[in-house]
Amino acid sequence: MFIPLLDGIDIQGKDITADALLTQRKLAAYVVSREAHYHFTVKGNQPTLQADIALLFQNRQASDQVVVSPP
């Protein structure tokens, strides 16, 4: 239902966001095939997916960023 809306839009290099209702493999594959990026909401009704995502962040090291404050 969402893919036809994106067909007529140039999404290459863009970020596509969607709520939990649209978090589907088919949409993710479509967005990637169009060379775009996606950010999907994941809720508790997808416990395996939610657990897999949590594993990605479990052993993360501190980021390599530097905070600069104005004088």
List the one residue out of 44, 43, 4, 3 whose CA is nearest residue 20.
43
How many domains does the structure of the chain reveal?
Answer: 1
Range of the domain at 15: 3-48
> pTM for this one?
0.71
In a domain, 64, yes or no: no
pLDDT in tens, 29-60: 999 999 999 999 988 888 998 999 899 888 87
In a domain, 40, yes or no: yes
In a domain, 24, yes or no: yes
In a domain, 42, yes or no: yes
Spatial separation of the C-alpha atoms in residues 27 and 20, rounded to whole Å: 12
In a domain, 66, yes or no: no
